[in-house]
Amino acid sequence: MNLRTALLHPLAKPAGFLLCLLPLAWLVWGAAAGQLGANPAEALIRGLGDWALRFLCLTLAVTPLRVRTRTPQLARYRRMLGLFTFFYACLHLLAYGWLDMGLQVADIGRDILKRPFILVGFACWLLLLPLALTSMNRAVRWLGASQWRALHRLVYVIAPLALLHFFWMRSGKNDFAEVAVYAAIIGVLMLERLLRYLQPKKASGA
């Protein structure tokens, strides 16, 4: 069975769904088993945020991989990956509000406005919200294909903001190695998108 056939197998998407839940299962197990270090609350909050960023990178990578490898079957996984990006971002926000702030809404609001890195992270979540709400096929029909595509280009705003949020979180501990890795990944994916955007213009101007 080749890759294209495997991606179309009826069990492929359910298997992918379960794989996407594994990071959450690992974090929950780690918290329950006391395996998240001296500050499990911080480890859980950061771990969920890290996975939101990883799923964002995976979502952005689907189209370039589909085009470069000529594997159109990959497109059927983009929506699932995008929704898991939002899912882990929601859990990241919930863990911060619950474990850090005790679900005190007024305190959370003040903290968001006081600390720029949290404000940027919250802005990412707000921008992800309309993308998640319009991920269904009926939303495409309701908005129209061109407006739906325009709305979902917000992901190219979300990606650098998410990277900035991640950078500010890591800068407190002078830990920039992971930041450099994600910056390289997002930079390559954004450059690839820019080149694909410019390509038709070059062709039409030839």
Instruction: Report pLDDT digits (tens) over 96-155.
Output: 999 999 999 999 999 999 999 999 999 999 999 999 999 988 888 888 888 998 999 999
Q: Which residue has the higher pLDDT, 202 or 46?
A: 46
Q: Residue 63: which of 50, 76, 52, 51 has the closest Cα?
A: 76
Separation between Cα atoms, residue 56 and residue 35, nearest integer Å: 26
- Are 169 and 150 in contact by the 8 Å Cβ rule? The answer is no
- Give the chain's domain count: 1
- pTM listed for this prediction: 0.91
Identify the domain containing residue 154 by its residue range: 3-205
